[in-house]
Amino acid sequence: MTDGFRFEATVHPKDDLAADTARMVADLDLDRVPDPTDDVRMLVDLNDCVRLLELGLEVRLQAAVPVRPLDPTLLMSDDAASARLRERIPPPGGAT
């Protein structure tokens, strides 16, 4: 994966030809991620898209996936991170 634009994409054989899409994608060493309907889904950059198109595959871009850190609102505070231990095994005398 090179820097720059990145997309979540599904890849399909053109014209419903019975191409072995999974095998073709495996040969390109792309980052395949699970797909709920067993489509071939992956993270690709623009160069990857070009390679897939040159193989005669249809590339459907599902979402842009910019390079960015985890949403900080998804991080626990230090207090929350140890809360389970305090709740399940309260320290003697209730001290914290």
Partner 1 sequence: MYRTVEQIDALAAQLAAQHPALCTLVRLPNPSIKGRTIHALRLRSADATGERRGVLLIGGTHARELMNPDLLIELAVDLVAATVNGTDVVLGARRWPAADLQLMLRALDVYLLPCVNPDGRTHVLTVDDMWRKNRRDNPGTTCDGVDLNRNADLLWGVAQGQTSCRPCTDIYAGSAAFSEPETRNVKHLLDSFRIHCFADVHSYSELVLHPWGHAATQTTDPAKRFTTLPTGTCQPLADSGYAEYMPAQDQFRFRTVGQRIVDAIADVRGHVYANQTGFDLYPTTGTQSDYAYSRHIARPALGKVYGYTIETGPWMGNARDSFHPANPEPVKDEAESGLLAFIQQCICAIDLLGAAQPAGAFDRLVRVRDDFLATTAAGRAWIALFDRAQIPLLAAVLADERLRARATQTLSAVAALLADPGNRLGRDLTDPAAALLRDLATGDVADDVADDVRAVITRLERLAGRTVEESLRDLMGEGPRGES
Q: Which residues contact 85 (CB under 8 A, 6 or more apart)?
A: none
Q: Exposure of 42 by Cβ count < 10 A (0-12 exposed, 13-18 middle, 19+ buried)?
A: buried
Residue from 32, 49, 55, 58 touching partner 1 (CB under 8 A): that is: 32
Question: For partner 1, which is the closer residue by CB, 1 or 53?
Answer: 1
Site string for partner 1, 57-96 (x = CB under 8 A): -----xx-x-xxxxx--xxx-x-xxx-xx--xx-x-----
Residue from 34, 54, 94, 95 touching partner 1 (CB under 8 A): that is: 34
Q: Give me the residue label for tokens 């072995």.
A: 20
Q: In whole angstroms, how far apart are CA 44 and each of 35, 36, 51, 63, 81?
A: 15, 18, 10, 11, 34
CB 28 within 8 A of CB 56: no
Question: For partner 1, which is the closer residue by CB, 56 or 82?
Answer: 82
Name the residues that contact partner 1, by CB under 8 A: 1-2, 6, 8, 22, 26, 29-36, 41, 43, 62-63, 65, 67-71, 74-76, 78, 80-82, 84-85, 88-89, 91
